[in-house]
Structure 1
Amino acid sequence: MTALLWHLGVLAAAAVLAAVIVRRIPAPPPEPPAPPPASDGPETSDRAFATARWWERRLASARDDPQRFRTLVQPRLAEIAAERLRRRHGLAGPGRAEEILGPDLYELLTAPVTAVPTRAELARLLTRIEEI
């Protein structure tokens, strides 16, 4: 029994000694505050790159498939062109749209697509949309 009490005393002393040592370890310094997010910093440019990558994937997936081009790309291009026509020319309907867009761009945006335009052709038509 005496040996058991002696072991318990040694364990208690070891626990007290461990507690004293742990208390003497200095606390880590506080972390510096995070900088405030910049309004026109990387977040904005990351969003622009994400949008560009989204368009790139969408165009790549529709490169050889007229049906995918018709469902994925054509409606969005038509929305962009319609918005440009509204803002720059005050047009809300197809009245003068064909005259402003030109017959080939108007057809691409309104007629069912039977063949996907080539890259050069699409680039030329997109430049025309930008110029509206």
Structure 2
Amino acid sequence: MSTSIEELLRFEEERPPDGEAERQGWLRPVLRILAGAVAIVAVALVALRTVGLQVSIPVLAAGALAVLGVRRVTAALSPPPPPAGGGRIGGGEEEGLYNWGARDALNAAVKRWETPLDWSASRPERFASTVLPRLAELADERLRQRHGTTRESDPARARELLGERLTAFLDNPPRRPPSPRDLAVIVAELEKI
């Protein structure tokens, strides 16, 4: 059977997984971890009973799940294997050279964590859609807990309790996110409520 070059170079997007495959996507690793934990508990229980020690099964199970969880996290953070043939010109890390172009798994993990936390001036829509509503919820909750009112139920009293600056910020937010210093002042005013 012969394959043409067109067939080899054809690009086809993968179909999105259906519901069954998606369920199996998380179920299989969970079952694998649970089976591993059961095996670890059984071996540890037999070993400990052999030497005359008695340990609670839930404690052993928690320890086994913790070890397997840490193993899974470290596997996700491990760097990719080096390319075949070394991939480095002029030597490897052993000789003091580092391949700065390689994908760093820890750096990738930190970038994944930074993205949800990024609300800087470079992303004003993120501030307006994420941070500002949380500040408004916080103001309403503090007003409700400490004074029995909200900005919606009694706007005049809420304006009096919040102050003009905080009320103006929450009701008419600026187009650009405030600087970290201004945001600290706003949060301090919220804490005074």
Give the alignment's TM-score, normalised by structure 1: 0.56
* Structure 1 residue 79: Cα displacement: 0.5
- What are the residue-to-residue correspondences of 1:87-98 with 2, within 5 Å? 87-92=145-150, 93=153, 94-98=155-159
Gaps of at least 5 residues in structure 2 are 1-45, 63-112
Change (3 A) 1:129 1:112: closer
Amino acid at match of 1:107: A
Percent identical pairs in the alignment equals 36
Superposition misfits of 4+ residues, deviation over 4 angstroms = 56-60
Rounded Cα–Cα distance in structure 2 between residues aligned with 1:95 and 1:57: 39
Give the corresponding residue for 2:48. Answer: 29
Rounded Cα–Cα distance in structure 2 between residues aligned with 1:59 and 1:118: 18
* Structure 1 residue 66: Cα displacement: 2.2
Asked if the contact 1:98/1:106 (under 8 Å) is kept, the reply is yes
Point out the structure with the larger helix share.
1
Tell me the C-alpha RMSD between the 2 structures.
Answer: 2.7
Amino acid at match of 1:116: P
Of 88, 108, 118 in structure 2, the residue corresponding to residue 61 of structure 1 is 118
Rounded Cα–Cα distance in structure 1 between residues aligned with 2:170 and 2:189: 12
Change (3 A) 1:76 1:62: same
Asked if the contact 1:91/1:97 (under 8 Å) is kept, the reply is yes
1:121 matches 2:182: yes
Give the corresponding residue for 2:138. Answer: 80
Asked if the contact 1:58/1:73 (under 8 Å) is kept, the reply is no
The aligned length equals: 87
The superposition leaves residues 57-101 of structure 1 with CA deviations (integer Å, 9 ceiling, x where unpaired) of 588511112221110011111001101001111113222112211
Change (3 A) 1:32 1:121: same
Partner SS, residue 117 of structure 1: coil
* Structure 1 residue 126: Cα displacement: 0.4
In our comparison, the structure showing a higher alpha carbon Rg is: 1
The superposition leaves residues 93-121 of structure 1 with CA deviations (integer Å, 9 ceiling, x where unpaired) of 22211221112211222214311111111
Partner SS, residue 175 of structure 2: coil
Q: Which has the higher contact order (CA 8 A, sep 6+)?
A: 1
* Structure 1 residue 29: Cα displacement: 2.0
1:110 matches 2:133: no
Of 128, 132, 155 in structure 2, the residue corresponding to residue 70 of structure 1 is 128
Amino acid at match of 1:29: L
